[in-house]
Chains A and B, each alone.
Chain A
Amino acid sequence: DAGVTQSPTHLIKTRGQQVTLRCSPKSGHDTVSWYQQALGQGPQFIFQYYEEEERQRGNFPDRFSGHQFPNYSSELNVNALLLGDSALYLCASSLVDSNQPQHFGDGTRLSIL
């Protein structure tokens, strides 16, 4: 039973570029959430997707956008990259109820030069 998979593992970009991160949820899960974890902080909620719609969003600018596909996989897109976007990006999948535990992928480490 495959868990949550994220790709790529590491990515290096320069300021102003655009990036797309990908996530495949755990089998049977229909909800995908994205988090940004900067050094020394806990994961910060970016947004959550359910039924191919953004259901909730955290305090992130419009440069951060996403998509969920019919097979429940998801993408996180970040435009006009800033140095401050350097972080570990975590994807988590779950069943639709907020009382369900989230299952995390290993993350994508994004470095902006």
Chain B
Amino acid sequence: ILNVEQSPQSLHVQEGDSTNFTCSFPSSNFYALHWYRWETAKSPEALFVMTLNGDEKKKGRISATLNTKEGYSYLYIKGSQPEDSATYLCAFGAGDYKLSFGAGTTVTVRA
């Protein structure tokens, strides 16, 4: 069983503030790291798939970085808005067609 950990479990952010959180994964047998956003009453939505050490991806105000050698990825939200409230999941792929998900970081943006 691959250990994928996300921290913190939850966080509250004031509207307009920026925030970031972490996904830790095994540093061996790395193939891909996925990020998904899961809003209440909706299905998980893919944000990024990252494959190379040092990769940086950006989608609007959300960006992510990847360090495969030390086994972590950061997700950043710049200028948080209420619509950013969601659970953010990361998933580690070792190239064996399985994705191992973390338990998620739940972000609540307060107006």
Contact = CB atoms under 8 A, between A and B. Distances in A.
A45 B98 contact: yes
Contacts of B98: 45, 48, 56, 58
Interface residues of B, number: 27
A46 B63 CA distance: 29
Interface residues of A, number: 28
Interface stretch (B11-19, B44-52, B67-75, B76-84): B44-52
Interface in A66-104: 90, 92, 98-104
Nearest to B4: A42
Given A98-B31, A100-B49, A101-B49, A43 B101 contact: yes
A25 interface: no
B3 to A, nearest CB: 11
Contact of B103 (A3, A40, A56, A106): A40
Nearest to B9: A40
B43 A107 contact: yes
Interface string A8-49: 000000000000000000000000010100001111110010
A55 B97 contact: yes
B43 A4 contact: yes
B65 to A, nearest CB: 18
Nearest to B93: A98
14 contacts: A4-B43, A40-B103, A42-B6, A42-B103, A42-B104, A43-B89, A44-B101, A55-B97, A56-B96, A90-B43, A98-B99, A99-B31, A99-B49, A101-B34
Interface of B: 1, 4, 6, 31-32, 34, 36, 42-46, 49, 51, 89, 91, 93, 95-104
